[in-house]
Amino acid sequence: MSSRDSDLSILSTFINGKLQMIYITDKQGPIHTNQAAITDGAMAHDFLTNYQAQTQDVFLWAT
């Protein structure tokens, strides 16, 4: 993932078409978001909630 002043390298693992893991392997520059980050946990929860809504892939713990 890249923007004009940042770059993220991401490793993602899927099993049977469902996301199992996302890992940021390299980060250069600031991470840009549309919302102010409260905590890393809140950012992760928001991401998983949005992922679930877009893919209909149910995470039992992301509710």
Beta strand spans in 1-63 (E)? 7-15, 18-28
pTM, two decimals, is 0.47
Structure tokens at 5: 């002043």
The answer on pLDDT for 1 being more than 60 is yes
In a domain, 34, yes or no: yes
- Which of residues 57 and 22 earns the better pLDDT score? 22
- Give the per-residue pLDDT at 62: 45
Among residues 48, 49, 9, 5, the alpha carbon closest in space to that of 29 is found at 5
Whole-angstrom Cα distance, residue 35 to residue 50? 13
**Residues 6-50 pLDDT 10s:** 887 888 888 887 777 888 788 888 776 676 767 777 777 787 787
In a domain, 1, yes or no: no
In a domain, 35, yes or no: yes
Range of the domain at 18: 7-55
Structure tokens at 6: 């940042």
- Overall number of domains in the chain: 1
